[in-house]
Chain A
């Protein structure tokens, strides 16, 4: 089945700096790679996703990159703000109506 590793488990940055979280996977059939954000005490919510037919996708301050050859994908947050502090989960699916498997999460703290 799908396996996804996420690093780092915790990340602390200064406000305004960039943050990068990386996930690696093993199943080359994986073709859908979303990122979810979970604020303290809240439910996870989708922030950005990418499918295997593109290498990069941007949405304002966040971007996701995908390297299919190396089997890894990354979340990039630029100009971090205190409200970016949350736990971020990567996930993946092999499509075909198959399940979504989540990484172990990264606790991001943006310090003033």
Chain B
């Protein structure tokens, strides 16, 4: 595809349910990020995948959050036992890492999660 694709675009769930959010990065991009943006707030780092390296999970807020990236491409962010404070827009981004230099991040449209 031409850009980063995320699904679903909107998800409403009940407290306590599990949710999965999907990110399809730009083909060939080795780096993939997940950020969380609450209403009117900044970009909160969650997790970062770079090539075959172990992911940087330092931003995950609790053990209810996990993410995987299969085959170096598609990534899934899973939130277990959702809480109301998990409500936010979850943004995925991908970039090229060329020669060790960080490149431009291309963001998806985001997945808006609402936990009732």
The smallest C-beta distance from B34 to any residue of chain A, in angstroms, reads: 11
A97 near B100: Cβ-Cβ < 8 Å: yes
A49 surroundings in chain B (CB, below 8 A): 104
Known contacts A95-B101, A102-B43; 20 further A-B pairs (Cβ under 8 A): A1-B58, A32-B101, A32-B102, A34-B105, A43-B107, A43-B109, A44-B91, A44-B105, A44-B107, A51-B101, A97-B53, A98-B50, A98-B102, A99-B33, A99-B45, A99-B48, A100-B102, A102-B35, A103-B42, A105-B43
A100 surroundings in chain B (CB, below 8 A): 33, 95, 102, 105
A1 surroundings in chain B (CB, below 8 A): 58
Chain A residues in contact with chain B, CB under 8 A? 1, 32, 34, 36, 43-46, 49, 51, 89, 93, 95-105
What residue in chain B is nearest A32 (Cβ atoms)?
B102
A36 surroundings in chain B (CB, below 8 A): 105
Q: In whole angstroms, what is the CA distance A99 to B33 when docked?
A: 8
- Chain B interface, number of residues (Cβ within 8 angstroms): 25
Q: In whole angstroms, what is the CA distance A13 to B41 when docked?
A: 21
Q: In whole angstroms, what is the CA distance A19 to B58 when docked?
A: 34
What residue in chain A is nearest B30 (Cβ atoms)?
A97
B42 near A43: Cβ-Cβ < 8 Å: no
List 21 A–B pairs whose Cβ atoms lie within 8 Å, in order of A's numbering.
A1-B58, A32-B101, A34-B104, A36-B105, A43-B107, A43-B109, A44-B107, A51-B101, A89-B43, A95-B100, A97-B50, A97-B53, A97-B102, A98-B56, A99-B50, A100-B102, A100-B105, A102-B35, A102-B42, A103-B42, A105-B43
